[in-house]
Amino acid sequence: MRQKFTRLLARIAEANAAYHGQDTPLMTDAEYDQLRREAAEILAAHPEYAAAAAALADIGAKPAPGFAKLLHASPMLSLDNVFSAAEFAEFCARIRRFLGLDATALHFIAEPKIDGLSISLTYENRKFHRAATRGDGTEGEDVTPNILTLQSLPKTLPMDAPERIEIRGEIYMTKADFLALNDSQARQFANPRNAAAGSLRQLDSSITARRQLSMFAYAQGSSSAPVAATHGEYLEKLRAWGFTVNPLSTRLNEPAAPDFQAHIGLTRGDLPYDIDGVVYKIDDLALQSRLGFAGRAPRWAVAWKFPAERASTRLENIEIQVGRTGALTPRAQLAPVNVGGVIVQHATLHNEDEIARRDIRIGDLVELQRAGDVIPQILRVLQRGPATTPYLFPTHCPACGSLAMREPGEVIRRCTGGLSCPAQITERLIHFCARGAFDIEGLGDKTIIEFFDAGLLKSVADIFTLPEREAEIALRDGWGKTSAAKLTAAITARRTIPLPRFIFALGIRRIGENNAKLLARHYGSYANWRAHMAQAVIIGSDARLELGSISGIGPAIAEDLAAFFAEPHNLHTLDALEAHLTITDATSSTSDSPLAGKTIVFTGTLTMARPEAKACAEALGAKVTESVSKKTDYIILGADAGSKAKKAAEIGLKILSEAEFRELAGLQSLIV
Ligand code: IVH
């Protein structure tokens, strides 16, 4: 019975996580309620399970959806992680390389990494205006009334604050408040982080008001005027304006970081709140802005996480998942186990060679590790299970039965079923509707699979014919007029889509959000992109060479794109989609920069290191190439420029000095 109860709770926890975190419920409300009823019945018969229930899962009610969305003035990004002194040293080395610094020690502000949820507070005319959660980083939820219930929130700022400023920080619940909250009610939160999130994300702010939430302010958003020259000074300002700044925040230089990390690691248990590491931020804000961002994380900060949590459990099965490109990925199914406050039921097994190399077998007792938000990993086999046999990786796709092949030199086995494989099609559909892509509310995994099985969805273009079948959908089990009408509205709202999202949605191998943006920026419009891709199918064509030379794309990715455009069924899908959609041009905030769209080459020694110069030019919309050709617009000459300078002069290219480049790029002029 206890095992059944544990399983039920784990399933509920999984459903909760999917529902709250991804807006993609794993099950219908009715199924969810049934699970909860079963758990409640067992609990009534076995009150001794109450403690396990508290530790295992949040079995509370789902908060109603329906927060207004707010667009962040600048994206709320995440942080890269390091786990050791060596990785931290590598992070510092990367900064020095980027900036072209020699052995100079870097100065950081070190702050505990609070295990809560990030918040953005906007002040207009020095009055508190609104608050938003991080959401997907671009768009968050409007939680203004809820934040207003925080007693420690400064409602106005003094005259030395800029007129308009956005301040970022972390909302958290202290360990004591978390325990008191769980003591006071039937609903049990798994940990303080969940409790803080559940309490903040309440549509009824009077509930938030009754919960004890706290906040640390720690980061800058956009502001109408600069506030400080260093992050340390910025934190001082925040303190002076009435915000709570973590008292452990410390200025230190690079060699002092490992000791600081060890000290905080040893004393973290004594802190009144949960932390999962220390964030190190470059103190000098001018250096921060030079370093900028790479993808979703700043180059100027890193989260040094505490060692991962470990636990042991039984490997119950090895499932094979089929991805949208046909890749067969093994996943461990585990007897549910609590690893540092989170119920874990699955772990990554990487690929078939890895399973064979480590001789992992179904039935083994394994040790697993969970670090931060990453998927748990199996560290080692602790004890061989009874009567096990070596695991045989399937040679056929478990979804469609087609042969699964490994290309020479590849570790991944792929289903050869293409679009006749139901798993590949549903995965493509799921990707197409997901966040970052079309983001269609109401078309989550479950619904897509339901519609696919019912024959309503066969390819992505069918999504846009669903509104015509609204009446039919309304009659389906679990649906009704309102939910069908909502789905129609959600689909209709996405008929206009920006080019980068469209490209990403297609699910082309290795074209993630970043590469989709690069392509969109390079080609500008959908028509132009498609025309170029049609030509790029031919190896050696100008279009193929151009594609492969886009900074960040390269020849291997160009091959994946060409493979996509060489398939007639993909072209049919594009034709069908075009008929339903308006794909808006990639507008670049940098399009008014004099460097936008220009191809430039750096040569010789510059005062700024090459990676910084390149990132700076690319941020302004320029394309940076290594070699000089007729397509080059500018060549920027550093000291001792060699053959490239000569060639540029021969072709008659426009030559810029570093000072001229800095002026075009709007950088500070050189102080010689
Ligand atoms: S700085 C551009 N400082 O960690 C990066 N983040 O893993 C801005 N966090 O989303 C974040 N404590 O929610 C920063 N002292 C701290 C933090 C902190 C916790 C969270 C934050 C962020 C996440 C990234």
CB-count burial class (<10 Å; 0-12, 13-18, 19+) for 392 = exposed
577 is written with which tokens?
């989609």
| Ligand 1: nearest atom to the Cα of 78 | 24
**What is the CB neighbour count within 10 angstroms for residue 626?**
10
Q: What is the pLDDT of residue 672?
A: 37
Which of 72, 74, 79, 268 to probe ligand 1 with, by most ligand atoms within 8 A of CB? Answer: 79
Encode pLDDT of 254-269 as tens digits.
Answer: 999 999 999 998 888 7
Encode pLDDT of 397-443 as tens digits.
Answer: 999 999 999 988 888 999 998 888 999 999 999 999 998 899 999 99
Rounded CA separation 29/40 (Å): 16
Tell how far the Cα of 644 is from the centroid of ligand 1, in angstroms.
44
pLDDT at 5 over 50: yes
Encode pLDDT of 584-626 as tens digits.
Answer: 988 655 556 788 888 899 988 888 888 888 888 887 878 888 8
Q: What is the pLDDT of residue 25?
A: 46
Take atom 17 of ligand 1 and give the residue whose Cα is closest.
113
Tell how far the Cα of 349 is from the centroid of ligand 1, in angstroms.
29
Average of pLDDT values for 87-99?
Answer: 95
Exposure pattern of 520-551 as b/e (b: 16+ CB <10 Å)? bbbbbebeebbebbeebbeeeeebbebbbbbb
Whether the CB of 282 sits within 6 Å of ligand 1: no
Task: Give the least confident one: 21-35, 115-129, 565-579.
Answer: 21-35
Contact 612, 290 (CB under 8 A): yes
Whether the CB of 118 sits within 6 Å of ligand 1: yes
Percent of all residues in the chain with a pLDDT value above 90, rounded to a whole number = 58
Averaged pLDDT of the chain: 88
Nearest-10 crossing angle of helices 554-566, 568-580: 80
Which of 218, 289, 306 to probe ligand 1 with, by most ligand atoms within 8 A of CB? Answer: 218
Whether the CB of 113 sits within 6 Å of ligand 1: yes
Whether the CB of 218 sits within 6 Å of ligand 1: yes
Residue 320 parent element (H or E): strand 309-322
Tell me the β-bridge partners of 117: 171
Domains of the chain by range and CATH?
A: 2-55 (1.10.287.610), 69-305 (3.30.470.30), 309-405 (2.40.50.140), 498-584 (1.10.150.20), 599-665 (3.40.50.10190)
Tell how far the Cα of 113 is from the centroid of ligand 1, in angstroms.
6
Encode pLDDT of 191-243 as tens digits.
Answer: 788 899 999 998 888 889 889 999 999 999 999 999 999 999 999 999 999 99
Distances (CA, A) of 467 to 24, 443, 494, 533, 619: 20, 13, 12, 31, 40
Take atom 12 of ligand 1 and give the residue whose Cα is closest.
113
If one compares 521 and 121, the residue with the highest pLDDT of the two is: 121
Q: What is the pLDDT of residue 562?
A: 94
CB-count burial class (<10 Å; 0-12, 13-18, 19+) for 333 = middle
| Ligand 1: nearest atom to the Cα of 219 | 1
Average of pLDDT values for 336-362?
Answer: 88
Dihedral angle sign, alpha carbons of residues 289, 294, 295, 298: negative
Residue 90 has φ and ψ, to the nearest 5°, of -65, -40
Q: Which DSSP letter does residue 425 get?
A: H
H helices, E strands: number in the chain: 25, 26
Whether the CB of 430 sits within 6 Å of ligand 1: no
Take atom 6 of ligand 1 and give the residue whose Cα is closest.
113
**Confidence band for 61, pLDDT divided at 50, 70 and 90:** very low
**Confidence band for 552, pLDDT divided at 50, 70 and 90:** confident
457 is written with which tokens?
């969805």
Residue 337 has φ and ψ, to the nearest 5°, of -145, 145
Q: Which DSSP letter does residue 325 get?
A: T
Dihedral angle sign, alpha carbons of residues 429, 435, 439, 443: positive
Percent of all residues in the chain with a pLDDT value above 70, rounded to a whole number = 92
Average of pLDDT values for 458-466?
Answer: 95
Rounded CA separation 632/598 (Å): 8
Average of pLDDT values for 320-333?
Answer: 95
Rounded CA separation 170/214 (Å): 8
Task: Give the least confident one: 354-368, 572-586, 612-626.
Answer: 612-626
Closest residue by Cα to residue 12 from 153, 160, 201, 194: 194
pLDDT at 375 over 90: no
**What is the residue type of 124?**
E
**Confidence band for 31, pLDDT divided at 50, 70 and 90:** low
Which of 77, 83, 114 to probe ligand 1 with, by most ligand atoms within 8 A of CB? Answer: 114
- Our CA dihedral for 369, 43, 180, 311, rounded to 10 degrees, sits at -10
**Confidence band for 668, pLDDT divided at 50, 70 and 90:** low
Contact 639, 608 (CB under 8 A): no
Q: What is the pLDDT of residue 185?
A: 80
Whether the CB of 485 sits within 6 Å of ligand 1: no
Whether the CB of 171 sits within 6 Å of ligand 1: no
**Confidence band for 32, pLDDT divided at 50, 70 and 90:** low
Rounded CA separation 543/540 (Å): 8
517 is annotated as an active-site residue? no
Tell how far the Cα of 77 is from the centroid of ligand 1, in angstroms.
8
Tell how far the Cα of 303 is from the centroid of ligand 1, in angstroms.
8
**Confidence band for 374, pLDDT divided at 50, 70 and 90:** low
If one compares 128 and 22, the residue with the highest pLDDT of the two is: 128
HEC string for 538-580: CCCCHHHHHHHCCCCCHHHHHHHHHHHHHCHHHHHHHHHHHHH
Whether the CB of 111 sits within 6 Å of ligand 1: yes
If one compares 592 and 450, the residue with the highest pLDDT of the two is: 450
Whether the CB of 131 sits within 6 Å of ligand 1: no
Q: What is the pLDDT of residue 55?
A: 35
Q: What is the pLDDT of residue 591?
A: 58
Rounded CA separation 49/489 (Å): 45
Task: Give the least confident one: 23-32, 252-261, 429-438, 451-460.
Answer: 23-32
Whether the CB of 298 sits within 6 Å of ligand 1: yes
Average of pLDDT values for 128-134?
Answer: 96
Q: Which DSSP letter does residue 424 get?
A: H
- Find the catalytic residue in 113, 237, 517, 644: 113
Q: What is the pLDDT of residue 22?
A: 39
Q: Which DSSP letter does residue 253 get?
A: E
Rounded CA separation 191/341 (Å): 7
Tell how far the Cα of 209 is from the centroid of ligand 1, in angstroms.
24
Tell how far the Cα of 141 is from the centroid of ligand 1, in angstroms.
18
Return the SS3 of 401: coil
Tell how far the Cα of 50 is from the centroid of ligand 1, in angstroms.
34
Contact 208, 195 (CB under 8 A): no
**Confidence band for 639, pLDDT divided at 50, 70 and 90:** confident
**Confidence band for 17, pLDDT divided at 50, 70 and 90:** low
**Confidence band for 65, pLDDT divided at 50, 70 and 90:** low
Find where tokens 């308006």 sit. Answer: 582
Distances (CA, A) of 509 to 273, 324, 325, 327, 396: 42, 9, 7, 10, 21
Rounded CA separation 622/618 (Å): 5
**Model-level pTM greater than 0.75?**
no
Take atom 2 of ligand 1 and give the residue whose Cα is closest.
77
Task: Give the least confident one: 21-25, 31-35, 374-378.
Answer: 21-25
Return the SS3 of 277: strand
Tell me the β-bridge partners of 113: 277
Rounded CA separation 128/157 (Å): 8
Return the SS3 of 333: strand
pLDDT at 29 over 70: no
Written as one string, the DSSP assignment of 72-100 is -SS------EE-SHHHHHHHHHHHHHHHT
Encode pLDDT of 477-511 as tens digits.
Answer: 999 999 999 999 999 999 999 999 999 999 999 99
